[in-house]
Amino acid sequence: MKDIHLKEKSVHGESSFHLHIYHHIADKHYYVSHHWHDEIEIIYIEKGDLEITIDNHVTKGKEGDFIFINPQSLHSISSVANHTSIHYALVFSLSILSYEIYDICQDHYIRPLINGDLKFPALLDFKNSSRIKDEILYLISSYKNRKYGWQLSLKASLLKIISLFVEEDKLVNELKYLDIKKQYKIDIIKKLLNYIHSNYQNKIYVDDLSKIANMNKEYLSRFFKSFIGKTPIEYLNNYRIERACVLIKNTDSSILDISMNVGFDNFSYFIKQFKKRKKCTPLQYRKK
DNA sequence: CGGCTCGGCGAGTAGTATTG
DNA sequence: CAATACTACTCGCCGAGCCG
């Protein structure tokens, strides 16, 4: 089975050019579970609303908003109360802008952005930043049109966007605000999520997780919920059901085998949990 | 002192195994 | 398949300890 970890291992874009733009039409059940990656992600909400949680802080994005997710930030994305929405997600590695020789741009801006000393603000107020907005929209259209030399045009746009951020003094200097305690907690959550994703096929008890986090199990439940919005077991069941859905769609295995495979050793409990989340039985889901 | 973090207790709920 | 008993989990509450 494909090994899936919360830290995305997939390379965004072609292997020769690490920038990709996804166009998502998100229905009312749209939910991208907590994960993180080395790339920067810029979300442009074309239509509707989106709720994005970044490092335990909820950002409500409205139509026309741009949301910036910095490298290594733990984030999840979901639709807002029964509404569909359309958004672009620009995912790219800042290393495509790196220089091999020492350069003041590299030293003052690119490297600090890569290692997290400088960050983009989560939500940008575009009242006074229409140039940044225009440049991002231009970047999206360059990507779509793919005229000769489009990669160069995208690179130029990215540098232009960063230069506008610098010019307008909108980058956040993390060294000034570094919250070591908060970072420590985020690291624990990442550890727990990684453990769940690596071991969901086996039995997982809250006690196992509490040992990983060095907390007592009651506190861990609350700690986890305060970050993820679900208790550890709710999250685990949800993840198992999502994994089961993939197997139901893409394999001919029996529902019983699939339920065992994703870590449910109690078949009736699996059906119960499946119906609770998907509003149909696993077999009905396959027939759809 | 007040705010915050974390541990621990107890009660209620959810999940699971067993039995008839 | 339902009833039942047991275990695991969650959550409200309280208190200890730490820090500014």
Answer whether A26's CB lies under 8 Å from A100's CB. no
Instruction: Please enumerate in sequence order all residues whose Cβ is within 8 A of that of A149, keeping only pairs 6 or more positions apart, or say none.
Output: none
**Which residue is nearest to the C1' sugar atom of C7, using CA?**
A205
Check residues 225 to 264 of chain A and report those whose beta carbon is under 7 Å from nucleic acid strand C: 225, 231-234
> What's the rounded Cα separation, in Å, for the pair A209 and A232?
9
Task: Report the length, in residues, of chain A.
Answer: 288
| pLDDT of the residue at A3 | 32
Q: Is the CB of A215 under 7 A from strand C?
A: no
In the complex, which nucleotide's C1' lies nearest to the CA atom of residue A233?
C9
Q: Is the pTM of this model over 0.75?
A: no
In the complex, which nucleotide's C1' lies nearest to the CA atom of residue A221?
C10
Q: Is A164 helix (H, G, I), strand (E, B) or coil?
A: helix
Side-chain-facing half-sphere of A121: CA atoms under 13 Å: 15
**Domain A19-177 in CATH 2.60.120.10:** yes
Q: Which chain B positions come under 7 Å from a protein C-beta?
A: 5-10, 15-17
Query: Protein A182 CA to nucleic acid B7 C1', in Å?
Result: 20
| pLDDT of the residue at A109 | 87
| pLDDT of the residue at A4 | 32
Instruction: Please enumerate in sequence order all residues whose Cβ is within 8 A of that of A229, keeping only pairs 6 or more positions apart, or say none.
Output: A53
| pLDDT of the residue at A100 | 63
Query: Protein A181 CA to nucleic acid B1 C1', in Å?
Result: 24
Residues of chain A with pLDDT under 70: 1-15, 99-102, 125-129, 174-182, 265, 268, 279, 288
Domain segments of chain A as ranges: 19-177, 180-287
Q: What are phi and psi of A114, to 5 degrees?
A: -70, -45
Query: Protein A269 CA to nucleic acid B19 C1', in Å?
Result: 18
Same fold: A19-177 with A180-287: no
Query: What angle do the packed helices A206-213 and A217-228 form, to 10 degrees?
Result: 80
Instruction: Please enumerate in sequence order all residues whose Cβ is within 8 A of that of A50, keeping only pairs 6 or more positions apart, or say none.
Output: A26, A43, A60, A61, A67, A77, A78, A79, A80, A85, A87
| pLDDT of the residue at A7 | 56
Q: Is the CB of A92 under 7 A from strand B?
A: no
| pLDDT of the residue at A59 | 85
Check residues 172 to 211 of chain A and report those whose beta carbon is under 7 Å from nucleic acid strand B: 181, 185
Q: Is A138 helix (H, G, I), strand (E, B) or coil?
A: helix
Q: Which residues of A224-236 are buried (b: 16+ CB within 10 A; e: fewer)?
A: beebbebebeebb
| pLDDT of the residue at A21 | 92
> What's the rounded Cα separation, in Å, for the pair A254 and A149?
50
Fold of A180-287: Arc Repressor Mutant, subunit A (1.10.10)
Q: Is the CB of A217 under 7 A from strand C?
A: yes
